Amino acid sequence: MSFTLIFTEQYTKRAARFLKRHPELEKQYLKVLQLLELNPHHPSLRLHALSGRLQGLHSVSINLSYRITLELLIQDEEIIPVNVGDHDVVY
């Protein structure tokens, strides 16, 4: 089963800023997006649900320091990235 990534204008701007600040992570970032489309539950993504004020969102790891928060709509097979950055930025 394949998922569809849906990028909002707001997320696209955040991702562009993130990649401008961290060009060395572009390859890892793109790999995470590809893996999300193929299998969001792949162990290397470390997908987990968030709680508190971010309840309803999920998070995946780019690496140990950087994350992507996203809205995961399993029923519709859609993934909507919300934010990207380090732990303090996305949480």
Residue pLDDT, tens place only, 24-40: 999 999 999 999 999 99
The residue assigned the tokens 């995946």 is 60
Fold for 4-90, please state it: YaeB-like fold (3.30.2310)
Q: State the pLDDT confidence band at 9, using cuts at 50, 70 and 90.
A: very high
- Greater confidence, 72 or 1? 72
Cβ-count burial of 46 within 10 angstroms (0-12 exposed, 13-18 middle, 19+ buried)? exposed
Q: What is the tens place of the pLDDT at every residue in 50-88?
A: 999 999 999 999 999 999 999 988 778 899 999 999 988
